[in-house]
Structures are given as C-alpha cells and as structure tokens.
Amino acid sequence: MATIKRRVWRGEKTGDIGKLQLVEDEITTDLEKGQVIVEVHAVGLNFADVFTCLGLYEAAPKNEPYVPGLECSGVVIHADKHAGGVKVGDRVMCVTRFGGYSTHVKIPWQQTLPLEWTFEEGAAFPCQSVTALYAMMLGGVADKEENALKESPPTILVHSAAGGTGLHACRIAERVGAKVVMTVGSEKKVEFLQKQFPRATSSDIIVRGTPSEFREQLATAAPQGYDCILDSLGGDYFHPAFEALNACGRHIVFGAADWTPQGDSVSIFGWLRLAWSALLNTPTVKPMQMVGANKGVLGFNLIWLFDKLNEFRAAGGVVSKLLALDLPPPSVGQVFPFEEAQNALREFQSGATVGKLVLKVK
C-alpha cells in the first residue's frame, strides 16, 4: 500500500504547548468514500488549538498523542471519485477534526478556494466564518430578506470584533443588513477596525471598560438595545450584555477567551485559579428569568457539529448560505513559518493580535 511521508506537530498528551514536537510520520493513500488527500500550504490558528494544547478543551483527545489544528488550505493530490467533483490539482480550503498542523491531511470536507484568494486567506476562512454565520442563524439575524421586513434593522453586538470570528461576523452582518456594535479589549484595535469597516462610527466600536462601565457603553452605542449578542468572551461581560438584550433577543455563547491562561502549561495553582474563577465568575441565568424577559441564551461548539457536515453543505445549509454571501477574503493578521507553530500559539494566546494568525507550510 502506497504511503506519503509528512511532517506534523504532535504532542504525546495535552497540557503543554512547549512539548509539541515537529515529527515525521506517514499516511496511506487509500481513501474512503468522499475523501481527498491535501498537500497543505497554510494552516489557520484557532482558540481551540490553544485550549487543546493546554489540556482545557473538552473535545480534544485525552491521554493519547494528538495533532492540533481544525482548518487548512492546499492542493489536492489524491481524490476519491465521490469527492463532490474535486480533482487532483484543485486548490481547496478544508476543516479537520484535529490533525491540521500537518504538511498533508486526509479529509472528507473541502471547498474550492476562490481563484483570487491566497492559501493563507483560504486557511483563515472555514472554521471562523461557519462559526460566525451559524451563531447568527441561531440568533435569528442571518437572513437578509427577513431583516428587511423588520421595523428596523436588527442590532448585533459582536465581542472580540478584531479577531477572526468577530471580523467574519461583522462582514456577514453588513451583507444581511444588520447594524453592528463591535467590542475590543484595547484602543490599539480600534484603528484596525475603522480601516476594515470605514462606515463604522466611533460609537460603533466599544473598548470594553469595567463591567459597570460596559453597561453604560452598551446603552450609549445602541439606546434601542440589542437583538443578538455574539459572545466569545464569557466571564464578567456576560450579564451587562444580556441585560441590554431586547425581548425576543438571543445571546449566543461560543467561546471563553477571557479565561485563556498564559504560559505553555497550567500549573496546579493555575488550575486552582481557573476553578476559583469558574466558581465566582461563571454567569448564571435562571430559566424562569428568561421566560419573564422573553429572551434566551444558546451555546454551541462547532467541533461537535462535524458529524453534521453533509447537512451543512446541503442546499440551504450553512456552507451554501455562506458562499451565497460572496464575502471578501478574510483579514490575515500574522503569518508564521510552519516550523514556528509554538511561537504562533503563544502570540495568539496573548490576546493582542488582530485578524487571523496563519502558519505558512510552503
């Protein structure tokens, strides 16, 4: 049976970014129905990669070797005849349920890369764009025709708007006729957002203050309240936003960036701090409180939807809706050589980045 040699970033078990090792292994060229083998040119980084390496990601392999990475782009070098018309030589962007930090991947899901896009842009698109659109669909604000029938455009609050998912959400909101209020954690990111979204006013971008200050900031930016909140932060900013949510509104939670630990690993004291923080700062909402206020909270993690990829790609599914929006290429903030994956993860972990971080393989 033919094999392909490849390089992968592998950890023997989760818990320490510094213990990832760049090693060689092989994959066979035999394909299951619908599979392709892609020679990877670029890999997109996600918060899930950081949490996986630190041993904090529930969906990650436990006590066994693992390769992080959920998305990449490259060129098809082997293709099953049932791979949806994809053929050898096609440029594609793909999602993987782990295993993306590799020079070659064998996968069932890929999408042709637009001709004018670079491989780095392709690697920056799949996971976070699908996350953003799916969250907005759950929030009931993703349909342009439905939004046009409302008395006024829906108002969406997007946390961490200068990050990959936040940028996708803001661009999608523009396409579907929604008003967007963006939040960031530092003044440095305001200028970046103003360049990305020239029509945004100063009041459309909030540099988050303390939770009590945040309440006032939310009211100033949108006195009419919010119809959907895209929350990748969690923690102390949950309740001020939930309180500003209008009746029939939905608060969509899909991340907890505020709880990202620093450092290559989490010490016993770090675990205690995380546990204590979770005990004190995990937001709670009583079901009857939501009934009385006529608004709700929904949470999701894209990784658990991988077994529904065919539904996502079907006509009317998330992917087809996403492609119909004809979005511009994503903003790539920093590109690291594949060999510097650990440093890229540390930079991402800092929270100081804008746009998408990408590993360049070739």
CA-CA-CA-CA torsion sign (96, 97, 98, 104): negative
Block residue for tokens 């939930």 = 242
Under a CB-based contact definition with an 8 Å cutoff, are residues 130 and 302 in contact? yes
User: Could you count the other beta carbons within 10 Å of the beta carbon of residue 337?
Assistant: 11
* pTM of the model as a whole: 0.91
- The residues pairing with 352 across neighbouring beta strands, listed in sequence order, are none
Please tell me the predicted confidence (pLDDT) of residue 170. Answer: 97
Please tell me the predicted confidence (pLDDT) of residue 276. Answer: 56
Per the structure block, which two tokens stand in for 229? 């909140």
Name the CA dihedral angle for 362, 117, 306, 60, rounded to a multiple of 10 degrees: 40
Residue 325, SS3 per DSSP? coil
Return the biggest CA–CA distance within the chain: 65
Query: What averages of pLDDT result for each successive group of 10 residues across the chain (362 residues)?
Result: 94 93 96 94 95 88 91 96 89 94 92 94 94 94 92 95 95 96 95 94 93 94 97 90 96 78 66 58 83 93 78 69 91 97 94 93 92
| Cα gap 362→340, rounded to integer Å | 13
- The residues pairing with 337 across neighbouring beta strands, listed in sequence order, are 360
Element (H, E) at 289: helix 287-293
Under a CB-based contact definition with an 8 Å cutoff, are residues 223 and 244 in contact? no
Q: 55: phi > 0 → left, psi -120 to 50 → alpha, else beta; which?
A: left
CA angle in degrees (0–180, nearest 5) for 195-47-154? 50
Supply φ then ψ for residue 214, to 5 degrees: -60, -35
Please tell me the predicted confidence (pLDDT) of residue 235. Answer: 82
Please tell me the predicted confidence (pLDDT) of residue 312. Answer: 67
Under a CB-based contact definition with an 8 Å cutoff, are residues 67 and 101 in contact? yes
